[in-house]
């Protein structure tokens, strides 16, 4: 019965409105995280109660009752020692398996996940959505920008003035993949209701995915201290119905088209032309001084020396800024470095452009 108690209690902890320890579980894998937490928590609670009770009872029963009383010689009990070693081992294996299975599910986004870029900077979040073809019309990418300094100066409590903070808007019932990086210092993107937290690191790309099955609104916090306005990095995830999300997204695409401002892949295409990238890299599968780029994102490339690398955001960023770090087999290391010549926004645009090449 003692062995089954933690599992029974973990199952009983499922509650739509949250529990004493946890907020509402609002993503498809949140309950898996809660089950592991409660399994470990109540296992520890049971062992703590048993061990403390045994210690108190033994202290009372075997206390020294007089000066003449001599402490008895107690020999070991191999059966007891084996039991308290083997039994907890099974519990530890169960904890590892439950945690590892949940971690694997959280680490691998579904193939059909909608991708959103998340950019952290002091002291706001910016969300970038890719270009799209809607009803036969090509629309540019758009971004939902965070608070500016003037807005934050007027706010004493960011949680009461969401107008100064950008919201990540997503559809209900569809997996969303976040590709995140920082433009300055270390941040961390945390959505308690989703049981989702991932560091957002300058010079690197990190990924996290989630699926929110129900319409609602959820808090976003930065959980790495990033400066004196760290508390201003407050945001929301707004989960809309699929129809409402598509209407919102179309409106944002139209605003981006009307503004004339370019970002994402459109900015990357302009830089690709203005920086002379096409002189060395073709986008039609033709080999030049450098490797062609169409259809390459997500594939595995062989490097000089025999190593291989997956072409992802991190590799593209490194290849743009420090191209000599990883040279593709069969090509000379002739690309000049763009470290210091391109800012983060321009690098991100080039990466988005290369990703869009099919």
Q: Which domains does the chain have, with CATH numbers?
A: 4-60+78-107 (no CATH), 114-259 (2.60.40.420), 264-356 (1.10.760.10)
| pLDDT for residue 230 | 85
Residue by residue, what is the 3-state secondary structure of 28-59?
Answer: CCHHHHHHHHHHHHHHHHHHHHHHHHHHHHHH
Beta strand 132-134 pairing with 167-171: unpaired
Q: Are 134 and 242 in contact (CB under 8 A)?
A: no
Helix (H) or strand (E) holding 169: strand 167-171
Q: pLDDT tens per residue, the chain (358 residues)?
A: 344 444 444 444 444 577 788 888 999 999 999 999 999 999 999 999 999 999 999 888 888 888 888 877 778 788 888 888 898 899 999 999 999 999 999 988 998 999 999 999 888 899 999 888 888 888 888 888 766 555 655 555 545 444 567 899 999 999 999 999 998 899 999 999 999 999 999 988 999 999 999 999 999 999 999 888 888 888 899 999 999 999 999 999 988 888 777 778 888 888 888 888 888 888 888 888 888 888 889 899 899 888 999 999 888 999 899 888 888 988 888 888 888 888 888 888 899 899 888 8
| pLDDT for residue 346 | 87
Q: Are 202 and 182 in contact (CB under 8 A)?
A: yes
Residues 71-129 pLDDT 10s: 777 787 888 888 888 988 999 999 999 999 999 999 889 989 999 999 998 888 999 99
| pLDDT for residue 54 | 92
| pLDDT for residue 147 | 60
Residues 170-206 pLDDT 10s: 999 999 999 999 988 999 999 999 999 999 999 889 9
């Amino acid at each position: 019965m003692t062995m089954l108690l933690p599992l029974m209690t973990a199952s009983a902890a499922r509650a739509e409105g949250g529990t004493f320890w946890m907020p509402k579980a609002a993503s498809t894998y949140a309950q898996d995280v809660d089950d592991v937490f409660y399994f470990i928590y109540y296992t520890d609670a049971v062992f703590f109660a048993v061990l403390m009770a045994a210690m108190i009872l033994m202290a009372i029963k075997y206390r020294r009752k007089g000066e003449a009383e001599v402490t008895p010689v107690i020999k070991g009990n191999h059966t007891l020692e084996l039991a308290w070693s083997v039994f907890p081992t099974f519990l530890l294996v169960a904890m590892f398996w439950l945690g590892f299975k949940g971690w694997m599910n959280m680490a691998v986004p579904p193939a059909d996940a909608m991708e959103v870029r998340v950019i952290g900077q002091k002291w706001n979040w910016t969300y970038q959505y890719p270009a799209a073809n809607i009803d036969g019309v090509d629309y540019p990418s758009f971004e939902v920008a965070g608070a500016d300094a003037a807005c934050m100066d007027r706010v004493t409590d960011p949680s009461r003035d969401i107008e100064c903070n950008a919201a990540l808007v997503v559809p209900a019932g569809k997996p969303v993949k976040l590709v995140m990086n920082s433009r300055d210092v270390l941040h961390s993107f945390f959505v308690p209701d989703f049981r989702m937290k991932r560091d957002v690191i300058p010079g690197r790309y990190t990924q996290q995915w989630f699926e929110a099955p129900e319409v609602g609104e959820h808090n976003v916090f930065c959980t790495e201290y990033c400066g004196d306005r760290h508390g201003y990095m407050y945001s929301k995830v707004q989960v809309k119905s699929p129809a409402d999300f598509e209407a919102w997204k179309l409106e944002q695409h139209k605003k981006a088209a009307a503004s004339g401002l370019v970002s994402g892949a459109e900015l990357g295409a302009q830089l690709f032309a203005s920086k002379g990238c096409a002189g060395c890299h073709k986008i039609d599968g033709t080999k030049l001084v450098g490797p062609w780029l169409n259809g390459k994102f997500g594939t595995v490339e062989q490097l000089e020396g025999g190593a291989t690398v997956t072409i992802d955001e991190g590799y593209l960023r490194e290849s743009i800024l420090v191209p000599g770090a990883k040279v593709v087999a069969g090509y000379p290391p002739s690309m000049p470095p763009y470290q210091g010549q391109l800012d983060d926004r321009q690098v991100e645009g080039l990466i988005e452009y290369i990703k869009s090449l099919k």
